[in-house]
Amino acid sequence: MQQRESLRGRSVLVTGSAGFIGSHLVEALVMDGARVRAFVRYNSRRSRGWLDDLDAEKTEQIEFFAGDIRDGPTVERAVEGSEIVFHLASLIAIPYSYDAPEAYVATNVAGALNVLNACRRHGVSRLVHTSTSEVYGTAQRVPIDEHHPLHPQSPYAATKSAADQLALSFCASFGTPVVVIRPFNTYGPRQSLRAVIPTIAAQLLAGGPVRLGSVTPSRDFTYVGDTVQGFLRAATSLGVEGSTVQLGSGHEISIEELAKLIAEVIGTPLRIEHDPQRVRPRASEVERLVADASLAKKLLHWRPEIELREGLQRTVDWLRRQPVAERAAEYAQ
């Protein structure tokens, strides 16, 4: 992978900074020498999510901004003075979107609109907006490129598709320098145990069995460090405004085969039990996702470097350092 431009000394805002990908992105930006403002959702506990796990040397270099992405004036204050904005704040749990679609519209669509309006008014030099491969629905052709039809099959995916189109419309209508980054399934340390890789690994580490919904769907997995590099390149590459660029490995694996591979990495027998509570509604299940990442290679000079087995080993090693009781409590929910 070619060297990218440094972000040293540049003022950067990251929304969704306390989450899985966001916290890794903030950490990488600090290491790159950027002046980072981390937008975290306000809470009475003053928790900053995964950013609380960073060492003091890194957190001392971060300006923390507590607020709510759904509140326009708050977002305005957060964006003011920022040269580059990475927008990752989103509700992401697909199952909950079936129960509370209005909350997803408020956060994922109206929240994105707040960010877009603020970036337009404050004249940021680049807005990197986060999409998801779920906007495609089940693949109509493979590998999926950026011209594949959009067919969101869950309220979550629909809100993300709507936010993407808003972002691109601001670029076309107002010249807002937007790049839409569309990661396929990202995994790695700090990911919620409700995601498929950590939930399989945690159940195996806790002695099994592994309770899963459908095991036939296939996914394209990218290690979080590689995904973060894609975000950084989207912020620094020239002439990419108005583009949608997806990040993926180009390799797919079924959930059943994935579980077998994780069991091999851990070195433990695998026994899968069907859990109907984990099954999506029939017409909502996305059966197949696999990326064509050639545009990312062309525009961003990006390609994933961490092979799946190595990434799984890193993820398992991280999970082993987490309290077993916490793992068991979370994946059982």
Class of domain 11-331: alpha beta
- Cα distances from 300 to residues 31, 113, 187, in angstroms, run 20, 26, 21
Instruction: Per residue of the chain (333 residues), give pLDDT as tens.
Output: 766 678 999 999 999 999 999 999 999 999 999 999 999 999 988 899 999 999 999 999 999 999 999 999 999 999 999 999 999 999 999 999 999 999 999 999 999 999 999 999 999 999 999 999 999 999 999 999 999 999 999 999 999 999 999 999 999 999 999 999 999 999 999 999 889 999 999 999 999 899 998 899 999 999 999 999 999 999 999 999 999 999 999 999 999 999 999 999 999 999 999 877 777 677 778 889 999 999 999 999 999 999 999 999 999 999 999 875 354 445 434
Q: Which residues, 6 or more positions from 13, have their beta carbon under 8 angstroms from its beta carbon?
A: 36, 37, 39, 65, 78, 79, 82, 84, 85, 86
Q: Tokens 């998801």 correspond to what residue? A: 132
**């707040």: which residue's tokens?**
114
pLDDT at 251: 96
For tokens 């899968």, what's the residue?
272
pLDDT of residue 15: 98
Q: Which of 105, 317, 120 is nearest to 223 (CA)?
A: 317
pTM for this entry = 0.94
pLDDT of residue 42: 92
Residue type, 303: R
User: Taking the mean position of all CA atoms in its chain, how far away is CA 129?
Assistant: 11
Catalytic one of 136, 156, 223, 331: 156
Q: Residue 170 contacts by C-beta under 8 Å, 6 or more apart in sequence?
A: 116, 119, 120, 176, 178
Contact 302, 240 (CB under 8 A): no
> What does the H/E/C string look like for 47-93?
CCHHHHHCCHHHHCCEEEEEECCCCHHHHHHHHCCCCEEEECCCCCC
- Clarify whether 98 is annotated catalytic: no
Q: Distance (Å, rounded) from C-alpha 163 to C-alpha 90?
A: 10
Amino acid at 277: Q
Q: Residue 171 is encoded by which pair of tokens?
A: 């670029």
Q: How far apart are CA 259 and CA 274, in angstroms?
A: 13
**137 class by beta-carbon count within 10 Å (0-12 exposed, 13-18 middle, 19+ buried):** buried
Question: Torsion angle, CA of 249/255/257/260, rounded to 10 degrees?
Answer: 120
Report CA-CA distances (Å) from 228 to 145, 183, 191, 213: 20, 10, 14, 29
Contact between residue 197 and residue 263 where contact means Cβ atoms under 8 Å apart: no
The dihedral built from the CA positions of residue 58, 61, 67 and 70, taken in this order, carries a sign that is negative
Peptide bond between residue 209 and the one before it cis (omega within 30 degrees of 0) = yes
Provide the Cα torsion 243, 82, 191, 40; round to 10°. Answer: -140
